Amino acid sequence: MTISVSSSTSDDNVTKNTAKNATAKQPKIVVKRHGIMRLLYTCKHTFNGLKWMCRNEAAFQQELMLFIPLTVFACMANISAAQSAMLVLALLFVLFAELVNTAVEVVVDRIGLEFHELSGLAKDIASAFVFLSMLMAAIVWWVVLWA
């Protein structure tokens, strides 16, 4: 004896779930924006990236905590505007290097979390970039303030 129970709601749910899974696997369409909308979306993505860095990246937070008081000092010091600009730009370069370092780390981690020699090398090179930017900033500050 076979009992057959048919429910249209369960069939509808299966169809809906299948449709959801099918649409979830489809790639997102990239919209190319032009003019002012491109600029507005660029600013939005820039803000999102900086917000993420401030919330999630400890090294960026530490560098930002140095950047703020040192920028105030550079602007208030008894030096020329060009020298102040050089000091601030040297600090901004360190933040830029940390952004690039984190971007490399995120992309490498996106590819795979398992160890690979080239993944480690990419992260090491990005870290060296941050170190060199800090060394350059220290040299600029030393030359402007004490040389």
What's the pLDDT tens digit per position in 33-87? 899 999 999 999 999 999 999 999 999 999 999 999 999 999 999 999 999 999 9
Domain membership of residue 4 (yes or no) is no
Domain membership of residue 132 (yes or no) is yes
Give the catalytic positions in this structure: 98
What's the pLDDT tens digit per position in 111-146? 998 999 999 999 999 999 999 999 999 999 999 999
Domain membership of residue 33 (yes or no) is no
Q: Which amino acid is at 147?
A: A
CA–CA separation, 20 vs 71, rounded Å? 51
Domain membership of residue 31 (yes or no) is no
Domain membership of residue 84 (yes or no) is yes
What are the tokens at 60?
Answer: 């960026």
Q: Total structural domains in the chain?
A: 1
Domain membership of residue 108 (yes or no) is yes
Domain membership of residue 115 (yes or no) is yes
CA–CA separation, 118 vs 104, rounded Å? 12
What's the pLDDT tens digit per position in 5-43? 444 444 444 445 545 555 557 788 888 889 999 999 999
The CATH number assigned to the domain holding 78 equals 1.10.287.3610
Domain membership of residue 126 (yes or no) is yes
What are the tokens at 29?
Answer: 């369409």
Contact 126, 101 (CB under 8 A): yes
Structural domain containing residue 74? 57-146
Contact 138, 97 (CB under 8 A): no
Q: Which of helix, strand or coil describes residue 141?
A: helix
Burial classification of residue 97, based on how many CB atoms lie within 10 Å of its CB (0-12 exposed, 13-18 middle, 19 or more buried) = buried
Strand blocks (E) in 3-146:
none
| Residue 10 confidence (pLDDT) | 46
